[in-house]
Amino acid sequence: MRFKLLRRRLTISAPRMRVRSAMPWPVQWAAAAVVLGFCGAISLWAFEKGKEIAGVDEGAKEELAQLRDEVVHLRAERDRIQSILNTSGSAITVERATQERLATQIRSLEAENRSLREDLGFFEKLTPVNGGEAVAIRGLQAEMLGGTQLKWQVLVIQPVKNAPEFRGRLELSLTGTQDGKPWSMPLPGGQPLQFRQYRRLEGVMELPPEVVVKNVSARIVEGSVSRAVQTVSL
């Protein structure tokens, strides 16, 4: 009998035993919640105390506000500098365009100045004319351009105040040698001439090859009458 009881207790078929607490489970849950809340409060207090000891939270709000103000200031400064750079770029572009325009004007003025100097030099070559002359040639010039071109210019004047309009023509002739032989060439058809006080004429003549020009003659003709003649040597 004792053996059977002992075997029953030691084998799987032994009766189960259940230990029950004398405290009901709602009370157990409430106690656990109180303990967890107490632990959480202690942890939070320890965390805040640690920040206070370390000085982490001291002036954090003021520092954050200061940093925000600095960010706003830096952004405004960046926008201002960007605006200045944009304005400077536009100013540089305008200045370059102005410089180019001024350079063009300077070149134009220099060319005009050279032309005026040429005119001045041309007029300085004028000499007093006799009172009886109605038309006179002054400042006949000629120069070779390369080997087959000759540039000429001549000033024709009427040295009389309130002179009537002159109508005629300018006849130009060249003399020299070609291949060692005498050679001459007139201005084809002459140059129509119409003026009151003065007029300057110029042109370029094409020459045959192997020509050496020695003299250039200009003559003013009115109808069939020669009014003035002048010759220059090269």
* pLDDT tens-digit readout, 164-203: 888 888 988 889 988 888 888 887 777 888 888 888 888 8
CB 140 within 8 A of CB 171: no
Phi, psi angle pair for 172, to nearest 5°: -120, 135
The predicted structure's pLDDT at residue 234: 83
The two tokens of residue 116 are: 């005026």
Structure tokens at 56: 């982490």
Distance CA 232, CA 119 (A): 19
Residue 114 main-chain phi, psi, to 5 deg: -60, -40
CA angle 125, 217, 148 (to 5 degrees): 100
3-state SS track over 75-110? HHHHHHHHHHHHHHHHHHHHHHHHHHHHHHHHHHHH
pLDDT band at 27 (very low <50, low <70, confident <90, very high): low
The structural architecture, per CATH, of the domain 136-233 is Sandwich (2.60)
Token pair of 123 as six digits: 């007029």
**From the centroid of its chain, how far is CA 161?**
53
Average of per-residue pLDDT values in the chain: 76
Condensed to tens digits (0 to 9), the pLDDT of residues 67-118 reads 888 888 888 888 888 888 788 777 788 888 888 888 888 888 888 888 777 7
Q: What is the band of 129 on the pLDDT scale with cuts at 50, 70, 90?
A: very low
Greater model confidence, 22 or 195:
195
3-state DSSP: the chain helix, strand, coil percent, rounded to 5?
Answer: 45, 30, 25
Ramachandran class of 232: left when φ > 0, alpha when ψ lies in -120 to 50, beta otherwise: beta
